[in-house]
Amino acid sequence: MILIRKEHPAFGWGNLAWAYTGTNAVAGYWRTYKDEKILVLNNLSSKSQQIEISLTPGDQSAPIELLTHTLPAQVNADKLYMQMTPYHYMWIKL
């Protein structure tokens, strides 16, 4: 995690803005710096959570989860949809 954090300046230098996830059980926020945009998600619940996050124009590229290098979410129109397991966290680059 430390290596990934060092590779992405948005974690330390960027702006922080809260992301509306559709549930109070998931804390989400955007970190942006220059051309980099990362969505940090934390499921604080002992239950799985379905989340939906609105995207801005230009964010419709394929999201990549930085810890697993997978495509964790589905993007339809201007929204990102995903299921989060209990106590799951993700760092998603758009």
Structural domains of the chain sorted by starting position, each given as residue range(s) with its CATH number in brackets: 2-93 (2.60.40.1180)
Give CA separation, 12 vs 5, 9, 32, 45, 65, in Å: 8, 6, 10, 26, 18
Tell me what the mean pLDDT of segment 57-67 comes to: 77
Write the pLDDT tens digit of every residue in 6-30: 999 999 998 999 999 999 999 999 9
User: In this predicted model, which residue has the larger pLDDT, 5 or 25?
Assistant: 25
Write the pLDDT tens digit of every residue in 42-61: 999 999 999 998 887 666 56
Instruction: Note whether 74 and 83 are within 8 A (CB).
Output: no
Q: Mean pLDDT over all residues of the chain? A: 89
- The predicted structure's pLDDT at residue 27: 97
